[in-house]
Amino acid sequence: MKKISIALTTLTLAAMAATAPTASAQPEPSSAAPKGAVAAAADGYLYAWDGFARGGAQCRWQQDDADWGTCSGISMRNRASSLENRGYAGAYEDVDLFYSPSWGGSRNCLPNGYYLDNLTGIYFLWDGKAGQGQTMNNNIASHRWTNNC
């Protein structure tokens, strides 16, 4: 009986050692993070660029915007190719992005603290509204801050 107890203890310890994390283990990325997303420093703004990887003309907003047609003297409507959400953590930290002006059409959400360097492979949701399934690249017309994605 003692041999069986020792054998079970040995098997249990071996199983625990095999599943224990090592000192060099890295945390897994959050499953909620969009592909290609990288954390950004918070400053309270949503940023959009008309080029990939923060290239070209840039706009930024601290508030909702029903029409990206005007932003500091330029139009970003249907021009954005990269985005960064540097909103402050807490209420209204995420950003809903819309296919149409005035928060219309299909949407997708950019979580707080994330940067997308190429919107080509990111799509609006399949929700039965205008723009569903379309790439977000060069197709964003408005945005609204939200409590969660």
Per-residue pLDDT of the chain (149 residues; tens, 9 = 90+): 443 333 333 333 333 333 333 333 322 333 344 445 555 579 999 999 999 999 999 999 999 999 999 887 789 999 999 999 999 999 999 999 999 999 999 999 999 999 999 999 999 999 999 999 999 999 999 999 999 99
Q: 38-146 is classed in which CATH architecture? A: Sandwich (2.60)
111's tokens: 């979580």
- H/E segment holding residue 146: strand 142-146
Strand extents, DSSP E, 18-123: 38-39, 45-49, 58-61, 82-86, 94-100, 104-110, 114-116
Domain ranges within the chain, ordered by starting residue:
38-146
